[in-house]
Structure 1
Amino acid sequence: MSGARLGRVLVLATAASLVLSACAGGTSSSGGGDASTIKIGFMGDLTGENSGIVIPPNNGAKLAIDEYNAKSPKVKIELKDYDSQGKPEQATSLIATAVGSDKIAALIGPAFSGESKAIGGVLEQSKIPSVSPSATNPGLAKNGWKYWHRVVANDDDQGPGIAEFLVKAKSPKKVFVLSDDQEYSVGLAEAFTKSFTAAGVAVETDKFAKDASDYSSTVAKVKSSNPDIVAFGGYYAQGGRLLKQLRDGGVTATFATGDGSLDAQLITGAGTAAAEGAVIGCPCAITTEGDQKDFATRYKAKFNVDPAIYASEGYDAATAYIKAIEAGNTTSEKINEFLKTADFKGITKQMKFKENGEPDSNAIFVYQVVGGKIKLLGPAAEAKLGS
């Protein structure tokens, strides 16, 4: 462990040194503030086990930038992907290249909380703004970072939103909260625990390793506890396996989880019968209707699939940078200054950032697996569970 930590520190130091010694601003072409092309990075799990919740925001960002470039602007944007596979150590290595040799002006992402925590310091030292479409760990906003932003509510909103909905819908007497050991998973599980406890519900907890495949010990604990609800903090790759083993082990309690599991692969991982009735919360509304109808049409025309989780948030994150560049801001620091005062109608909400980088809006939505498909039930305060 000590060697891994030392290696990570050296990489972080190298990345910061590379950027700070390079020409500030992250522009390509003529440099300074007079670039004809600006590089913006996108970092997240694009090929790993949880890529299903990162490919959609990556597509959303691509759509926004392609639409912008199609207008033949004076300053074009080049989107460069950095596939971290959701691994903090991989993100640490990639950011050295992104801010060092590639000289990105800004970053969309990282998509996950663990990788966001791992590279946030480098981005801050390098004065490179970042806007995550999906990282929800509350602690990210408590680092004092001035270049960090996200467009979704954090788990201190998501956890209570889901828990309060379930308390109202199910009147549970006992909840078993589970997670693996990833940054996001632990944060959401802690939010669940605090929220259910505050509501007077008895809570038991357990945690397992991210790469574990046999959850029999955890299943035995849950079965012995006989809870009314099992609340899982984690991603769908682990959630699907867990749910299958819980059902195979005779646990019939309502299964509830958060945005990291809002993907059809939760159902395929658990099996259709096991996943039926599962409740999933998210600081996102996935819809092809209303304000998102036009976006959904354009998205499907380009990618031949309906928008999925965080597709519209990826579009909004990219749009924040586009608006900065359209306003004549072509260096990293000027783009970051623009973000402080950004206030525009996005696909998902009115886009405005608080001083700590959090979004101004924090609505939570509830979904349920019904008939083998994930169905949007509506805002947590209004949603009703299916039978």
Structure 2
Amino acid sequence: MRRSYVRALGAIGLSAALIGAAGCQAEKDNTAGSSDCGGKIAMFGAYTGPNSGLAIPALKSAQLAVKQHNAANPDCKVTLQEFDTKGDPTEATPVANRVAGDASFLGVIGGGFSGESKATMAVYEAAEMVMLSPSATAIELTAGGNEVFHRVVGNDAVQGAAAAVYLRDVVQAKKVFVINDGTTYGAGITDELTESLGALAGGTDQVQEKQVNFAATISKIKAAEPDAIAYGGYTNEAAPLVKQMREAGITTPFLGLDGIYDPSFPKGAGASAEGAIITCLCLPSEKAGGTYAADFEAEYGAPPGPFGAEGFDAANVLIEGLAEGNTTR
């Protein structure tokens, strides 16, 4: 059995809901198998660029799911085509227009990030194409009534509350300085964290995407004298921030939310990453059910990375819908 943990959620309706929404235009080319089974799925995310370490494991896992399905069901072929957006909403929007305008695509896995998901939801909703994200966590994505967006992870309220409890009970912080990177994801998740921290929140700052000098933020941290620092954003800014903090003599415990659950973070921060705490709503690959982790390592020669299991599950939800004959949008 190759399925991972999300398949169990079928018992509470996730799988059934998505499969019901997964239908689309019949695939006409010879890669799609028979006209009443199989089809074509698009997947978009940051497959190149500084934050690609968060998205590539999900892509590889989705490709693995498709390969396994096609090997077991040669008369019900599913095709997966990926589109690299670099995680940028401005690049994701033309991709969405292209995919939505191509009747051969029957569903979408993505986006990997909240910002690109938010930017494209209306396009896919207008085309009546189901979206299933492996890793976009912003609350607003499911709060606005969009009828096609789904995800296989929890939202920022869940992670923000859990991080606040950890900072209070484990780190035993009395004052937490909160930093975000101004993105849809970073601002949203730190709002939830700050609310959950309540009186423990003591100071805040916002950095910018592609920022390289964090002297002003470091000065604010020193002035606030916190017991812990929490960061909501991505690795591209977090790694140099932490490195510069440590070089400036700040030894305060650092907690990063799941946007930095990325191999590029320790690589970029070097020794300064030692002791950093990272939270994630994702499932560690070794906890995934069935043979997923072993199959992934056999296929790629390395263990799955962050959000790999979620990418595998997202693909299998859509594949199952197509295999059951839902081949109209």
TM-score by length of 2: 0.88
Deviation, structure 1 residue 292: 3.8
Residues 156-167 of structure 1: pairs in structure 2 closer than 5 A:
156-167=157-168
More strand by share: 1
Query: Is this contact kept in 2: 1:184–1:234, CA < 8 A?
Result: yes
Instruction: Name the counterpart of 2:207.
Output: 208
Shift of 1:73: 3.9
- Partners of 2:86 and 2:252 in 1: how far apart? 32
- Please state whether the residue corresponding to 1:211 is helix, strand or coil: coil
CA distance in 2, matches of 1:127, 1:293: 33
Aligned letter for 1:119?
T
> Is the partner of 1:212 in helix, strand or coil?
coil
- Mapped contact 2:185–2:233 kept (Cα < 8 A): yes
Q: Could you tell me which residue of structure 2 aligns to residue 318 of structure 1?
A: 315
In structure 2, the partner of 1:228 is 227
Contact 1:176/1:204 (8 A) holds in 2? yes
SS in 2 for 1:232: strand
Q: Deviations over 1:169-192 (max 9, x none)?
A: 122111100011111011111111
The AA in structure 2 aligned to 1:280 is: I
Alpha-carbon contact 1:65-1:77 (below 8 Å) kept: yes
Deviation string 1:208-258 (CA, Å, 9 cap, x unpaired) is 111211111011111111111110001112111111111111211110011
C-alpha distance in 1, partners of 2:92/2:245? 33
* Residue number in structure 1 paired with 2:268: 269
Mapped contact 2:36–2:326 kept (Cα < 8 A): no
Check whether the contact 2:240–2:269 (CA below 8 A) recurs between aligned residues.
yes
* Distance apart, 1:36 and its partner CA: 6.2
RMSD of aligned C-alpha atoms? 1.7
Structure 2 counterpart SS, 1:27: coil
Contact 1:27 1:39 in 2 (8 A): no
Deviates more, 1:36-45 or 1:246-255: 36-45
Residue correspondence of structure 1 range 124-203 to structure 2 within 5 A: 124-197=125-198, 200-203=199-202
Deviations 1:343-365 (A, max 9, x none): xxxxxxxxxxxxxxxxxxxxxxx
Aligned counterparts of 2:218 and 2:205: Cα–Cα separation in 1: 10
CA distance in 1, matches of 2:283, 2:319: 23
CA contact 1:106–1:128 (8 Å) conserved in 2: yes
Of structures 1 and 2, the one scoring higher in RCO (CA 8 A, sep 6+) is 2
Aligned partners of 1:196 and 1:203 also within 8 Å:
no
Deviations 1:123-172 (A, max 9, x none): 11110001000000011011101111000011110011111112101221
**Mind listing any 5+ residue stretches in structure 2 that lack a counterpart?**
1-22
Q: Tell me the equivalent position of 2:295.
A: 298
Cα 1:57–1:166 change in 2 (3 A) is: same
Amino acid at match of 1:308: G
CA distance in 2, matches of 1:127, 1:102: 11
Q: 2:282 aligned with 1:284, yes or no? A: yes
Residue 72 of structure 2 aligns to a residue whose secondary structure is coil
Measured against aligned partners, the alpha-carbon deviations of 1:262-306 in whole angstroms (never above 9, x if no partner) come to 12211111112x111111110112132x54462111001111110
Aligned mates of 1:291, 1:125 — CA distance in 2: 35
Deviations 1:56-100 (CA, angstroms, capped at 9, x unpaired)? 000111111110011234331110001000000100011111121
| Structure-1 residue corresponding to 2:10 | none
Give 1:242's aligned amino acid: L
* Matched residue SS, 1:309: coil
Contact 1:130 1:147 in 2 (8 A): yes
Residue number in structure 2 paired with 1:219: 218
Q: Where does residue 45 of structure 2 map in the other structure? A: 44
1:104 and 1:35 mapped to 2: Cα distance?
Answer: 14
Secondary structure in 1 matching 2:316: helix
Q: Percent identity between the aligned chains?
A: 35
Amino acid paired to 1:61: A
Is this contact kept in 1: 2:38–2:327, CA < 8 A? no
Q: For the residues of structure 1 that align with 2:85 and 2:25, how far apart are their CA atoms?
A: 21
Structure 2 residue matching 1:218: 3-state secondary structure: helix
Number of residue pairs aligned between Structure 1 and Structure 2: 304
Instruction: Quote the offset at 1:103 in angstroms.
Output: 3.5
**SS of the counterpart of 2:250?**
coil
Q: Give the residue type in structure 2 aligned to 1:281.
A: T
> Does the aligned pair in 2 maintain the 1:29–1:36 contact within 8 Å?
no
Distance 1:132 1:149 in 2: 6
Q: Partners in 2 of 1:291 and 1:187 — Cα distance?
A: 28
In structure 1, distance between residues paired with 2:135 and 2:321: 21
1:86 maps to what in 2?
87
Secondary structure in structure 2 of the residue aligned to 1:144:
coil
Mapped partners of 1:25, 1:171: distance in 2: 51
- Asked whether the 8 Å contact 1:178–1:232 carries over to 2, the reply is yes
TM-score, scaled to structure 1:
0.75
Summarize the alignment of residues 67-106 of structure 1 with structure 2, pairs less than 5 Å apart.
Answer: 67-101=68-102, 103-106=104-107
Moved more, 200-209 or 211-220: 200-209
Query: Match of 1:41, SS?
Result: strand
